[in-house]
């Protein structure tokens, strides 16, 4: 895992070493065991975490079927946004696929950041804008790419996940049925 300092600079922009130390002082280490929940539908999520190691699956039930939205990997932040930022019950569940190590900040400490780090609002706005850009790219790919093109892009960006998580989760992330995913995967193997 990248050093906390390096990761914070990458995601939050230019901060002094003193500002990074203040920010880091608000985080604590946390561990989840495989299958343990970070957040659950209809419950409140009061934490935001940086994944140090392990994998978390973010999913939602729809018509009795689990729809995987994302697999969170090391060096990414994870939270249930509507719950953490808007005090609403979680719409999503976040579950450990492996044992997971996290650096976590709770909601109360997050609120206190404004007092201790005066430029936090500006930093937070930049970070949220980056997250929004990633979401826009994902929506655009779902609207403009074929299933096979989405598969290819995701495979190139997340090759290691294809051996670490059940493939139906990846199919769900890509917005395709397990059957379509299998056909594409088989065709790729035959052409290799």
Task: Tell me the domain boundaries of the chain.
Answer: 1-116
Check pLDDT > 70 for residue 106. yes
Please provide the DSSP assignment of 172-191 as one string.
HHTT--HHHHHHHHHHHHHT
State the Cα–Cα distance between residues 151 and 121, nearest whole angstrom: 37
- pLDDT digit string, tens, across residues 133-153: 888 988 888 889 999 999 999
Burial bucket for residue 16 (CB in 10 Å: 0-12, 13-18, 19+): exposed
pLDDT at 2: 56
- Architecture per CATH, domain 1-116, reads as Sandwich (2.60)
In this model, does residue 1 exceed pLDDT 50?
no
């Amino acid at each position: 895992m990248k050093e906390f300092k390096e990761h914070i600079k990458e995601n939050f922009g230019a901060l002094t070493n003193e500002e990074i130390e203040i920010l880091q002082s608000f985080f604590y280490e946390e561990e989840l065991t495989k299958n343990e929940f970070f957040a659950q539908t209809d419950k409140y999520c009061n934490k935001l975490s940086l994944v140090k190691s392990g994998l978390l699956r973010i999913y939602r039930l729809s018509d009795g079927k689990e729809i995987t939205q994302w697999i969170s990997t090391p060096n990414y932040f994870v939270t249930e946004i509507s719950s953490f930022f808007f005090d609403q019950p979680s719409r999503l569940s976040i579950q450990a696929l492996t044992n997971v190590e996290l650096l976590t900040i709770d909601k109360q400490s997050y609120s206190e950041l404004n007092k201790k780090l005066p430029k936090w609002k500006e930093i937070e706005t930049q970070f949220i804008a980056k997250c929004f850009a990633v979401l826009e790219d994902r929506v655009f790919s779902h609207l403009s790419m074929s299933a096979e093109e989405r598969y290819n892009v995701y495979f190139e960006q997340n090759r290691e996940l294809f051996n670490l998580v059940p493939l139906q989760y990846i199919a769900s992330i890509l917005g395709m049925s397990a059957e379509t995913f299998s056909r594409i995967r088989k065709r790729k193997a035959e052409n290799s």
